[in-house]
Amino acid sequence: MTHVSRPNAEPLRIDPGAVEEAAKLLYIRACKILPDDIKQGFARLDADETDGTAKAILATMIENIGVAERMDNLLCQDTGIPIFNVLIGRNIALDGWDLKAAIARGTARATREAPLRSSVVHPITRKNEHTSCGERVPVINIDFTDRDRELRLEMIPKGSGSENGSFLQMLIPADGLAAVKRFVVDRVMQAGGKVCPPTIVGVGIGGTSDLCMHLAKMAATRPLGSRCADAEGAKLEAELSDAVNGLGIGPQGLGGDGTSFAVHVETAATHITMNPVAVNIQCHSARRASATFTPDGIVVGF
Amino acid sequence: MADHVLNTPVSEADIRALRVGDRVTLQSTLFGIRDATQIHMFDHGRRTKFDLRGHAVIHTAPNLRKVEPSPEHPAGYAPVCVGTTTSDRMERFTRPLMEREGVRIIIGKGGLREESLRAFAELGGCYLAVVGGAAALETTWIEQLEDVDLDDLNPESLYKFRIRDFGPLLVAMDSHGGSLYTEVNAKVAARRQAVLEKLGAAEGARP
């Protein structure tokens, strides 16, 4: 095999053992340490909040972040459904089957060794294997990037209270963008306090039904401060963030200004007959952790 | 907006004294209960060995570490992280919890609905809101996991916790028909039209 662009660069070989260790570490770390952008999001909402009850609730949430770090404990009891995003750069050598198995082994070990509550059951029998694993879980999303000899492993323990706030509607072109906006506002109202606000509201627009839902998940789990790459999507993010925070749902649905840290939008091209919109919500315990594999080693972050 | 300290079990009079907006700190005992626990108790007819009369239950399924039973951990579990789950899923169990088991206090997040509010008024119960997702802090209010029942449902077993200074919790639904959720929902619904108009997305707007 000839690498035309980099004839002398050795591919970065990904060791399944290192992936297993990283998966275990990331699951535990994500459950304990909130990313800096989310902490800053709390500071911003707290500074802007005018409602007394909402202020007290935000103060408790901020206190909890400190308690979790000081006591090396979990931020939230819900260990979620484990999701791993694998972003594979160029010039990487790995065995995909080994990678999937390594992620599952790391997840099961985190569950046993931390220990974490296994929140994963068979969908029909409701049997819990106490490994946080099961058929098609951990959820593994694989994508490719243009980064040379870099593989990024992202871990998201997706809490169920907010995941139950997931909605899809196959709108039609005649419904227009107005119906898309209305759908987002109405679903945020429907979710109310059940999704543990303040939230990140993830909105998917376009694609197929399954892609649209996936876009909403990508949007909900993106760092605060990041913007939709599509200019129209980015414009909607600002409008919808302003809109949902005008509703007065507030932290925990008990009233106040801070309903959402942000509304994030992700878009995909769609069919001439289709106008799909999806909402997926991330709770205030917007947990993430990542490991970046490069020839220089592995860097752990958010 | 009064502050109360309640030792469980409580009386009906204790509950009737609470009004939405009050703050409550609980002492002594708290039971942990969840979806599967209540599905098995009320849909599958299983009974618990615990006497829940006058007690408080919290919508939870904790993270636990299995240990040898000892005076410190009599149930064979050390609590690692005890938090609160969304209550709305368990709405239909409020009345049977109160009628059959005598529960008077439900602690959760996100609130319950109209039927629970009616049960609280008729039977003398209330809903206390804890801050969801603040489990590390909540765990510091738990002294011990004293006992466990229906443990084949782990982690959704029925747990008996010894607690100290559990709270402050917010009285979000009281026994007089008051509900902060109903109040907030009404305010939110009243704002919807203006929010949609600002977006250019009110019903009837040209798409």
CATH of residue B48's domain is: 3.20.130.10
Is B190 within the bounds of a domain? no
Asked if residue A95 and residue A183 are part of one domain, the reply reads no
Q: Kindly report the number of other CB atoms within 10 A of residue A296's CB atom.
A: 8
pLDDT above 50 (res A2): no
User: Cβ contacts of residue A213 below 8 Å, gap of 6+?
Assistant: A166, A168, A204, A278, A280
Is B58 within the bounds of a domain? yes
Q: Which of A64, B182, B127 is nearest to A56 (CA)?
A: A64
Is B96:B39 a contact under the CB 8 Å cutoff?
A: no
CA distance A177 to chain B (A): 6
Residues from chain B contacting residue A42 (CB–CB below 8 Å): none
Asked if residue A273 and residue A165 are part of one domain, the reply reads yes
> What does the alpha-carbon distance between residue A207 and residue A271 come to, in Å, rounded to a whole number?
7
Asked if residue A177 and residue A90 are part of one domain, the reply reads no
Is A247 within the bounds of a domain? yes
Is B185 within the bounds of a domain? no
CA distance A16 to chain B (A): 28
In tens, the pLDDT along B7-47 reads 999 999 999 999 999 999 999 999 999 999 999 999 999 99
DSSP string, chain B: --EEEEESS--HHHHHT--TT-EEEEEEEEEEE-HHHHIIIIIS----SS--TT-EEEE---EEEE----SSSTTSEEEEE----BSGGGGGGHHHHHHHH---EEEEBS---HHHHHHHHHHT-EEEE--TT-HHHHHTTEEEEEEEESGGGTTS-EEEEEEEEEEEEEEEE-TTS-BHHHHHHHHHHHHHHHHHHHHT--TTS--
Domain hosting A99: range is: 12-31+75-158+287-301
Is A75:A31 a contact under the CB 8 Å cutoff?
A: yes
Q: pLDDT category, A1, cuts 50, 70, 90?
A: very low
A251 DSSP assignment: G
pLDDT above 80 (res A4): no
Is B189 within the bounds of a domain? no
Beta carbons of A182 and B196 less than 8 Å apart: yes
> What does the alpha-carbon distance between residue A135 and residue A123 come to, in Å, rounded to a whole number?
9
Is A238 within the bounds of a domain? yes
Asked if residue A101 and residue A16 are part of one domain, the reply reads yes
Asked if residue A128 and residue A25 are part of one domain, the reply reads yes
Question: In which region does residue A250 sit, left (phi positive, over 0), alpha (psi from -120 to 50) or beta (all else)?
Answer: left
Number of structural domains in chain B = 1
CA distance B103 to chain A (A): 23
In tens, the pLDDT along A178-221 reads 999 999 999 999 999 999 999 999 999 999 999 999 999 999 99
What pLDDT score was predicted for residue A6?
A: 57
Asked if residue A244 and residue A110 are part of one domain, the reply reads no
A131's tokens: 């490994």
Asked if residue A231 and residue A88 are part of one domain, the reply reads no
Q: Which of A42, A32, A14 is nearest to A200 (CA)?
A: A42
Is A178 within the bounds of a domain? yes
Domain hosting B134: range is: 3-179
Asked if residue A193 and residue A102 are part of one domain, the reply reads no
Is A114 within the bounds of a domain? yes
Beta carbons of A189 and B192 less than 8 Å apart: yes
Is A7 within the bounds of a domain? no
Asked if residue A180 and residue A89 are part of one domain, the reply reads no
Q: pLDDT category, A9, cuts 50, 70, 90?
A: confident
Is A258 within the bounds of a domain? yes
Is B194 within the bounds of a domain? no
Residues from chain A contacting residue B169 (CB–CB below 8 Å): none
Is B72 within the bounds of a domain? yes
User: Cβ contacts of residue B44 below 8 Å, gap of 6+?
Assistant: none
Asked if residue A122 and residue A214 are part of one domain, the reply reads no
Asked if residue A178 and residue A118 are part of one domain, the reply reads no
Is A68 within the bounds of a domain? no
Number of structural domains in chain A = 2
Closest chain A CA to residue B156: A119
Considering only the beta carbons, identify the residue of A77, A179, A194 that sits closest to B82. A77
Beta carbons of A252 and B196 less than 8 Å apart: no
Asked if residue A204 and residue A265 are part of one domain, the reply reads yes
- A81-90: strand order across its sheet: A139-148, A81-90, A151-158, A289-294, A297-301
